[in-house]
Amino acid sequence: MTNNKYKGISLDKASHFDTEALSMLEEIMEDEFPDLIQVYIADSDPRVNALQQALDAKDCTQLRHISHSFKGASGNIAALPLADLCFKLEEDAHGDSLENIPSLISRIDNEYQSVRSILLSLVS
Amino acid sequence: MKILIADDNTSDRLLLKKIISKQGHTVIEAENGKLAIDSYVKEAPDIILMDVLMPELDGKEAAKEIKRLAGEDLIPIIFLTSLVDAQSLADCLESGDDFLSKPYNHIILKAKIDAFVRMRTMHATLQKQRDTIVENNQHMLHEQHVAKAVFDNVAHSGCLNAANIKYMLSPLAVFNGDVLLAARKPSGGMHVFLGDFTGHGLPAAIGAMPMAEIFYGMTAKGFGIRDILREINLKLKSILPVGFFCCAAVVDLSFTKRSISMWMGGVPDCYLLSDAGREFKSIRSHHLPLGVLSSEKFDDEMTDHAMDIGDRLFMWSDGIIEARNAESEMFGEDRLLSIFQRELPTDDLFEAVKSHVSDFVGESERDDDTTIIELRMVEESELEQSELVMEQGTVTGPSDWSLEYELGVDSLKHFNPLPLLMHIMMEVPALRVMSGQLFTVVAELFSNGLEHGVLNLDSSLKSTPSGFAEYYTLRQQRLDELKKGFIKVSMKHNSIGGRSGIFTLSIEDSGPGFDYPDKFVQVPSESQKKLCGRGIPLIYSLCHSLEYVGSGNKVVAEIHWP
C-alpha cells in the first residue's frame, strides 16, 4: 500500500482526526471497529478517482454527490479535516467556476491517504 | 423496537447499526429509498432512520410514500443528514419527524429514539382508546335504539294518531324527557297526558315507563283521571330521586259533554281556542309537578272548560318557550302568544307554531326537548273505533265462572269497585273487545243501585240545572250519613265452545225498589220516564236483555257475544 507518490505524508493522528471522537468510536464499535474501517476504506478508495472523472466530465452534480457522501462518511469516522475539504468541494461545485476544484481534489486525495494510513495502522 | 436504517453509505450504516444494536434494538437495513419502502412494508419497523440523499429514490420521497402507506399509524422517520444549513434541516421536518446530523452523536441518537418510542407508544394507546371509544359508542347507540323501540312502544303508543290529535315530539337525545300519552276511555272520551321530566335523555325517559304503564293500564280499566294522577304521583314520588319530577298537563276529554277537565302542574300556559278563532283562553297551571308531593298533600283538583266541536286545546312543554336562537335569546311566551293573535285559520295554527319555533331556533343547538300537541273537539263518531284487536286463537282466560261481590256501607262510601269489576271481565278475551260497552252497563247499573236504591235519590231532580247541583249535594250528604245498606254484584260468564258466550250481570241494592214497567220499547211511554232518568234506554240498547226483578231493587242484564 505504500506508494512513492505519498511519501512524506503526515501520520500525526491529531492533525487528521478528532481524536476524542475517534476513541469513542473505537469504544462503541468494539470488535467491529476493524470492520468499520475496512468498509470505510472500501467505500472511499474509489471516491478520489471518481471525483477526478467527474471533474474531467465537468459533471458538477456528480461532484457534489460524491463529495457529500464522502463528507458524511468521513465525519462519522472522526476524520474532520477530510470532511471539511469534502464540504468545501461540495460548496465549490455549486458555483460556476471549476477553477479551484483540481487543487481541492488533490488536497482531498492527500488528506484521504493520511486518514487511510492512520486508520489501517490502528487496526493492523 | 425494530429500527430500519436506510443509508447508501455502508460505513455510516455499519456505525449506526452498532450504536442502535447496543441500545437493545433490532436493526434492519436498506441501501436506498426504494428498498426502504419495501422493507417498511415487509418488516413493519417501529422507527425509520433515513439518509436524505440516496440513489434510486431519495429519502424525502421515500418518507412521503411510507407515511402514505402508514395511514393512521405513526411511523416516526428521522432523517440522517450532513447538511447543516437551517433551511435544509427545516425541510427535513416537512416529510419526516426529526433529523440527526452527521457525524452521529450516539447520546443524542439514543435520546431521540427513546423519545420516539414514547411517542409511538402514546400514539398506539391513543388509537386503541379511540377505537375502544368508537366501539363503546356504537354499542351504546345500538342499545339505545333497541331500548328506544321498547320505550316508544310504551310511551308513545295509545291513540296519539287519532283524527283529533296533532302532535310533535322532537327529542334532543335518542330518548326524550317529554312524554305524550293518549288513550280512549272504555266509557268513551279520551285521556291525554303531556309530561316533561326534569332533564332529558335516558335519565329523564326512564321515569316515563312506569308512568305510561299506569296511564294506559288504569285508563283501560276504567279508572278516573284523578285516580290515575294520584297513582302516577305516588309512583314517581317513590322512584324518582329528590329534585327530579315530571311537569304535566293532563286532560280528561268528554265528547258527549263537549268539555274537558284539566290538571296542570308546572307546565306553561295552555291555550284554548274556539273554532272560529274568535275566543281565546289561556289556562294556567295551578299545581306542583307530579312526583313532588306525598299522596296526602297531592291535590287532584281539576278545572273544567267547555269545548264546542272544532275548538282546539294547545299544550306544550317548556322546551318551546325556552327554545333559544343563535343569540341565546328565548322564544318566549310573547312570541308564542303573537302567533295566536294573527288571526290565522285555526287549521294552520299548529304548523305555524312549529315553523315559527324552528325558524327562530335556526341552526343553533337545541338544549331541551320540544313537544306540542293540539287536541280538537270532534264528534266521537269521527274517530276510528278504538277496538282492541283480539289475538287470534287465544282461548286462554276464564270462560265459565261466576262471582258474587257484596259492598257494605264503608266500602260504598270510600271505594269505587268499577275498575276491579272491569278487571275481572277483561280477563275474558271476548269481553275485552267490548270493554267500552260493558263499562257503560256496569257503571250505569251500579250508580243506579247506589243513588236511587241505597241512597234513595230521585232522578227527576236532575232535570233542572239547580236540581242537578242539589242532587249531587244530597248524594254526598246521604252517602256521608249512610248507616246501613249494601250493593250485591253478581257476575257470571259461560262460553259455548269458545265461539260464543253469555255474560250475566246482576246488581241488587238494599233500597226499596221502584215501580218498573214489564217491557221496554224503543220510544219510551209516559210510564217509562222513570227509566230515562236511570239511563235505562241506553243500557237496554247495549244488552241482549235487561230485566228488573222483585220490588225493582234488583236488575239483571245479559250480554251475548259475538
- Residue ranges of chain B assigned to CATH 3.60.40.10: 156-382
* CATH of range B156-382; options 3.40.720.10, 3.60.40.10, 1.10.340.70, 3.40.950.10: 3.60.40.10
β-sheet bridge partners, residue B330: B324
Strands B270-273 and B259-265: unpaired
- Residues A10 and A16: their CA atoms lie apart, in Å, by 9
Looking at beta carbons, which pairs linking B333-336 to residues 24 or more positions away fall under 8 Å? B333/B268, B333/B269, B335/B360
Give residue B84's identity as a one-letter amino acid code.
Answer: V
Neighbours of B464 (CB within 10 A): 11
Q: Between B11, B82, B106, which is nearest A28 by CB?
A: B106
User: Backbone dihedral region of B81: left (phi > 0), alpha (psi from -120 to 50 degrees) or beta?
Assistant: beta
The answer, yes or no, to whether residue B227 has pLDDT greater than 60, is: yes
Amino acid identity of A84?
D
pLDDT for B429 equals: 74
Q: Which whole number is the average pLDDT over A62-82?
A: 91
Separation of alpha carbons B426 and B435, rounded Å: 7
| Chain B residue at shortest CA distance from A36 | B11
Supply B342's cell numbers. 294573527
d(CA B103, nearest CA chain A) in Å? 4
For chain B, the average pLDDT equals 85
Q: Where in chain B is the domain with CATH 3.30.565.10?
A: 401-561
A7-11, A102-106, B18-22: the lowest-pLDDT one: A7-11
Instruction: Tell me which of B155 and B146 has the higher pLDDT.
Output: B146
Please answer yes or no on whether A76 and B11 come within 8 Å at the CB atom.
yes
Q: Residue B537: pLDDT band by 50, 70, 90 thresholds? A: confident
Write the pLDDT tens digit of every residue in B42-100. 999 999 999 988 878 888 899 999 999 999 889 999 999 887 788 888 888 888 999 99
What is this model's ipTM? 0.83
Which residues of A sit within 8 Å Cβ distance of B? 21, 24-25, 28-30, 32, 35-36, 39-40, 42-43, 65, 68-69, 71-73, 75-78, 83
Across the beta sheet with B303-306, what order do the strands follow?
A: B178-184, B190-197, B246-254, B259-265, B303-306
**pLDDT band, very low/low/confident/very high, at A28 (cuts 50, 70, 90):** confident
Give the pLDDT confidence score for residue B347 in this predicted structure.
85
- Residues of chain A neighbouring B103 (CB-CB closer than 8 A): 21, 75-76, 78, 83
Nearest to B31 by CA among B44, B46, B17, B47: B17
The whole-number pLDDT of residue B425 equals 87
**B124-137 pLDDT tens trace:** 999 999 999 999 99
Residues of chain B with CATH 3.40.50.2300: 2-125
**Average pLDDT, stretch B482-489?**
93
By Cβ distance, the residue of B8, B12, B22 closest to A76 is B12
pLDDT at position B305 is: 93
- Sketch the domain layout of chain A as residue ranges: 15-123
Cα dihedral sign, B39-B42-B43-B44: positive
The highest-level CATH class for domain B2-125 is alpha beta
Query: In angstroms, rounded to a whole number, what is the distance separating the alpha carbons of residues B433 and B397?
Result: 14
Residue B390 clears pLDDT 50, i.e. is over it: no
What class, spelled out in words, does domain B401-561 have in CATH?
alpha beta
Q: What is the DSSP letter of B105?
A: -
- Residues of B in Cβ contact (< 8 Å) with A71: 82, 102
Categorize the per-residue pLDDT at B529 as very low, low, confident or very high, splitting at 50, 70 and 90.
low
Among B11, B82, B104, beta carbon nearest to A71: B82
Third-level CATH fold of A15-123: Four Helix Bundle (Hemerythrin (Met), subunit A) (1.20.120)
Q: Please report the pLDDT score of residue B242 as a whole number.
A: 82
Nearest to B11 among A28, A39, A71 (CB): A39
Contact at 8 Å (CB) between A90 and A5?
A: no
